Structure 1
Amino acid sequence: MVTYKQIQSSNSLLTSSTIPRVSLFAGGTSGIGKYTLRALVSASVGHDPIRVYLVGRESSRPATEEFISSLRLINPNAEIVFLPGEISLLSETKRVCSVVKSREQSLDLLFLSAGFAPFGNARTETAEGLEVAQSLEYYSRVLFVELLLPLLSRAGGRVVSVLGGGLERPGSIPDVDDLDLKGSGGKGFMGYKAQTQYVAMNTLGMEVLARENRAVTFLHSWPGIVSTGNVWRGVQDKNSALGWFIWLVVEPLLRLIGRSEQECGERYLFQCTSGYYGGSAEKTTAWNGKRGESTKGTDEQEGAGHGLFLVNYKCDCTPNEANMKALREKAQKKVWDHTMQVLGPYM
């Protein structure tokens, strides 16, 4: 386990060279993305100015502008640019990426945390015919990476996808005959099955991207228990039995045993900047004076420090090789071919 004290020590060593100078946060208007962005802005005080593109829904603008104002009090030299966009829509994801590409030559950090656990068994689709949570947690994330790869590669940047890295199990092999879980006209959709499928697809897709783009560092991370408020997303009736269960049981439990906002933010700032997960020596903080010796990616063909890093809530990293082997053999090609078919019109 990487202790909180070790993480704080690493973050205190950040400099103008190792702090991400240009970042994009998709999902940074609330929850883990918000906590991480606050930690990043705090760490940038006294260093060269940073610029962050913060993507969120138009409906979140008032709360987001208030949040940005609080960040400016922490560091007036940090430039926070709000980009409104409904990124469950792939057309909107493409538009947002076009804006960033028109303004920037390179991108140091792409932080992807938009999404929610689809409680219940009611399938909700976007106007583009995709299940909302799946679009947020998988399709739009892969599209963000694909469209911003030139900028990320130029910077030797890092992609952090927050969902369930390391939770891959034999039972989580995606239903390759129904990757979008549309079977029986959508009646076969189940929240728990959906979430395990999206986790596996995230890992398989990000591993392909990591394998093909060695200049970019990829992390798929599981945050553990953090109270973010996202348990309510997708609950259509707060007065339903499910709504009462979340209010009376789930939320109090999360507040009781979950990590604090500050610790969550610091842990993810560590994942965004530490050489513990590979990356170039010039752009990351050293880990105990060494680099690339404590972690293993899912692709060890070129040694430590490469491939996709699966990171658990303790910030430990595992290649999860036994389960990944089964996933690769049974599902990876079909998942990736299907993904490219879905994303094709937007690339």
Structure 2
Amino acid sequence: MVSYKEIQASNALINDATAPRVAVFVGGTSGIGKFTISALVATGASTRIYLVGRRSSEERMRAFIQELHAINPKAEVIWTEGEIALLAETRRVCEIIKSKESRLDLLFLSAGYAPFDGRNETTEGIEITQSLEYYSRMLFILQLLPILSKAEAPRVVSVLGGGLERETSINLDDLDLKKPGNFSGVNAQVQYVAMNTVTLDKLASDNPEVTFCHTWPGWVSTGNVRRGVVANSIWGWFVRLLLDPIISLVAFRDEESGQRHLFQSTSAAFGGRGVPWQGKPGQNSLEQQANGLFLVNYKCDCTPNAKVLPLLREKALKKVWDHTNEVLGPYL
């Protein structure tokens, strides 16, 4: 485990030279994304952050942005409205960013929640959480790769469940879990985690100049466990009376979660570039590359998931990649 003191010491080295000059946070209106933005701004470094969120969050985020500016006037936080569960909206937001920036140092993806209220689809016919946790994230990456590749040490961080993959995680006969009986909150989360890892591993192999991290944050009291839960359902009562109190007891504090994810977003422990790191370097999924996919857990330790990932490459990669390109093709 990388101790919290080590993480704080690393983050204390972030300055104008080592901070991401341009960052995009998708899912930064609450939870881990918001905590990480606060941690980055609090370094005092000069940085420009695109904060992407729904229109309903704008008023609350304007107040948050004012607070950040008071903490660090050198940090510019730009509110960018978009309903990113919709792939057409994701493409629109990416076009806005690309029209303004020639390079991108950090893409931080943390939007999503567990779909324990059952299957609900967007107007584009995609299950909402699968769009947020997988399709939209991959579309952001593919759309922004041209400007990521122009940065000195570009990094993509996807916050979900890196390292939790299993050989049987992906239902290859029903990648969108549309067939009767296949969809549940647990099945969906397991499938979306593994699809993230398989595709990010492919992208890391194809883009060796970019560092990719798929992180498992552990318990963090973000409130997302309640999102989408029907208030008076059995699951709603379970969350309210049992799960929420347990999370509150064992979860990382907001500040520590933000610091840990800032470390993952900036430290040379992941990819050999970034803020200097004297500790043990993280191990990525591609032994032949300095960069690759880093599966990072809540202790900021890495696992190559060496028994599972090769099997997923062999059995699932082509089908997942082909299907992903079929879904995203109209938006690329």
**What TM-score does the superposition give when structure 1 sets the normalisation length?**
0.93
- Which of 313, 320, 323 lines up with 2:298 in the alignment? 313
State the partner residue of 1:61: 58
Matched, 1:144 2:140: yes
Unmatched segments (≥5 aa) in structure 1: none
Deviation track 1:238-271 (CA, whole Å, cap 9, x = no partner) reads: 1222222111111111111100000000000100
What is the Cα deviation at residue 73 of structure 1? Answer: 1.6
What is the Cα deviation at residue 140 of structure 1? Answer: 0.5
Matched, 1:75 2:72: yes
State the partner residue of 2:4: 4
Distance of 2:286 and 2:306 partners within structure 1: 9
Matched, 1:254 2:241: no
Answer whether contact 1:117 1:231 (CA < 8 A) is retained: yes
Distance of 1:232 and 1:165 partners within structure 2: 22
- Which of 111, 115, 133 lines up with 1:114 in the alignment? 111
Matched, 1:191 2:157: no
Answer whether contact 1:217 1:279 (CA < 8 A) is retained: no
Answer whether contact 1:216 1:279 (CA < 8 A) is retained: no
State the partner residue of 2:42: 42
Matched, 1:336 2:329: no
Matched, 1:287 2:282: no
Answer whether contact 1:58 1:85 (CA < 8 A) is retained: yes
Unmatched segments (≥5 aa) in structure 2: none
Aligned length: 331
Give the residue type in structure 1 aligned to 2:192.
Answer: Y
What is the Cα deviation at residue 15 of structure 1? Answer: 2.0
Deviation track 1:272-322 (CA, whole Å, cap 9, x = no partner) reads: 100000143xxx11111x7xx6221101123xx321000011000111110
State the partner residue of 1:32: 32
Distance of 1:176 and 1:241 partners within structure 2: 31
Secondary structure class of the residue paired with 1:115: coil
Give the residue type in structure 2 aligned to 1:263.
Answer: E
Distance of 1:232 and 1:129 partners within structure 2: 24
Answer whether contact 1:119 1:191 (CA < 8 A) is retained: yes
Stretches of 4+ aligned residues off by more than 2 angstroms: none
Give the residue type in structure 2 aligned to 1:37.
Answer: I
Matched, 1:299 2:271: no
State the partner residue of 2:171: 175
State the partner residue of 1:323: 308
Give the residue type in structure 1 aligned to 2:320.
Answer: V
Distance of 1:331 and 1:221 partners within structure 2: 20
What is the Cα deviation at residue 215 of structure 1? Answer: 0.8
Secondary structure class of the residue paired with 1:54: strand
Deviation track 1:224-243 (CA, whole Å, cap 9, x = no partner) reads: 000001112222x2122222
State the partner residue of 2:220: 226
RMSD: 1.1
Secondary structure class of the residue paired with 2:18: coil
Larger mean CA deviation between 335-344 and 324-333 belongs to 324-333
What is the Cα deviation at residue 170 of structure 1? Answer: 2.4
Answer whether contact 1:11 1:270 (CA < 8 A) is retained: yes
Give the residue type in structure 1 aligned to 2:147.
Answer: L
% identical equivalent positions: 57
Deviation track 1:2-23 (CA, whole Å, cap 9, x = no partner) reads: 0101000101111211101110
- Which of 262, 273, 284 lines up with 2:266 in the alignment? 273
Answer whether contact 1:22 1:51 (CA < 8 A) is retained: yes
**What TM-score does the superposition give when structure 2 sets the normalisation length?**
0.97
Give the residue type in structure 1 aligned to 2:285.
Answer: T
- Which of 197, 203, 214 lines up with 2:208 in the alignment? 214
Distance of 1:145 and 1:170 partners within structure 2: 25
Distance of 1:20 and 1:309 partners within structure 2: 19
Answer whether contact 1:296 1:306 (CA < 8 A) is retained: no
Distance of 1:162 and 1:194 partners within structure 2: 16
State the partner residue of 1:99: 96
What is the Cα deviation at residue 77 of structure 1? Answer: 2.1
Give the residue type in structure 2 aligned to 1:266.
Answer: Q
Secondary structure class of the residue paired with 2:168: helix
Secondary structure class of the residue paired with 1:277: coil
Give the residue type in structure 2 aligned to 1:199.
Answer: V
Give the residue type in structure 1 aligned to 2:311.
Answer: A
